[in-house]
């Protein structure tokens, strides 16, 4: 049986749908089911249900809010992940930990390999890296999968925000010097399920294919949705945020290729499918 944490979230909900489609026994849980920041609570729940695998999607993802509340962010992303890893070791379960491009500082223009130097520049990035380190410290049977720029049906995301703003504004300013890969939650869910069922432990990068800036992403959203709203590319300096963002979030897929996993479709194809669905 596979335990999926954060099952009401953007990615966890899609993983539950994919496991259901594959007819694989699973238990989808969210914060109401048990407290992942309480090791005793985690231990009782996991010992009672005894999963063979845990896909750990639950996370604190409010990147800017984390700068004001680092303790909560570290509790949820680092200490809770360590709780899960400790109990997984006790019950001989494996874990797939969903991490992020934010573990890198985003400097330079080269693709980040799975073993590239980590140097997070935000509280959120530091907390997710601490989660990675906790998993590797306690478990040999683990998968760490770094993802980026996720959008899907559940929750808030960049695509939904752009579509909403396009109905309210004639022009939108969007940063053009942060580069990465938009990633469609249903596509990602299929890949994560194939990874956790493979037994091929290791660190992976998983995003839809291709790279763009946020401004280019926004322009494609307008084109595919038929909106006349104009996108004005601006620099990150012109749009200050509490948390620093990596300017280069381009992740290498060499690890996926080496593991024999199929790469995901191009991000433009994924965006077209998402807009048609909503």
Please report where in the chains the tokens 């797939």 appear, as a residue.
96
Cβ atoms 114, 204 nearer than 8 A = yes
Q: Could you tell me whether strands 94-100 and 142-147 are parallel, antiparallel, or unpaired per DSSP bridges?
A: parallel
Which DSSP string do the residues of 224-269 spell out, in sequence order?
HHT--PEEEEE-GGGS--SS---SB--B--HHHHHHTPPPPPBHHH
Please give the radius of gyration of the chain, using alpha carbons only, rounded to the nearest integer: 18
- End-to-end C-alpha distance for the chain, whole angstroms: 32
Question: Residues 124, 143, 184, 204: which is the catalytic one?
Answer: 124
Q: How far apart are CA 117 and CA 107, in angstroms?
A: 11
Q: How far apart are CA 174 and CA 238, in angstroms?
A: 10
Q: How far apart are CA 147 and CA 189, in angstroms?
A: 11
Cβ atoms 124, 74 nearer than 8 A = no
Closest CA to 89 of 47, 119, 49: 47
User: H or E element: which one contains 211?
Assistant: none
Specify whether 124 is catalytic.
yes
Closest CA to 193 of 46, 185, 268, 112: 185
Catalytic residues: 124
């Amino acid at each position: 049986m596979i335990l999926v944490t954060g099952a009401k979230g953007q990615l966890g909900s899609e993983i539950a749908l994919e496991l259901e489609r594959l007819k694989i026994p699973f238990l989808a849980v969210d914060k109401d089911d048990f407290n992942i920041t309480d090791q005793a609570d985690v231990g009782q729940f996991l010992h009672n249900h005894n999963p063979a695998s845990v896909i750990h999607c639950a996370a604190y993802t409010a990147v800017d809010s984390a700068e004001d509340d680092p303790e909560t962010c570290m509790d949820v992303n680092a200490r809770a992940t360590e709780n899960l890893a400790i109990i997984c070791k006790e019950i001989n379960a494996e874990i797939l930990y969903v991490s992020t491009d934010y573990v890198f500082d985003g400097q330079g223009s080269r693709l980040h390999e799975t073993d590239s130097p980590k140097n997070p520049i935000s509280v959120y990035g530091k907390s997710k890296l601490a989660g990675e380190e906790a998993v590797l410290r306690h478990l040999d049977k683990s998968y760490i999968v770094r993802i980026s720029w996720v959008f899907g049906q559940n929750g808030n995301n960049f695509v939904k925000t752009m579509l909403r703003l396009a109905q309210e504004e004639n022009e939108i300013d969007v940063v053009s010097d942060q580069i990465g890969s938009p990633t469609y939650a249903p596509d990602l869910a299929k890949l994560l399920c194939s990874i956790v069922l493979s037994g091929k432990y290791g660190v992976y990068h998983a995003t839809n294919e291709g790279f763009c800036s946020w401004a280019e992403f926004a322009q494609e959203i307008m084109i595919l949705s038929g909106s006349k709203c104009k996108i004005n590319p601006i620099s990150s300096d012109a749009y200050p945020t509490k948390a620093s963002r990596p300017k280069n979030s381009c992740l290498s897929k060499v690890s996926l290729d080496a593991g024999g996993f199929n790469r995901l479709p191009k991000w433009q194809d994924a965006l077209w499918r998402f807009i048609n669905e909503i």
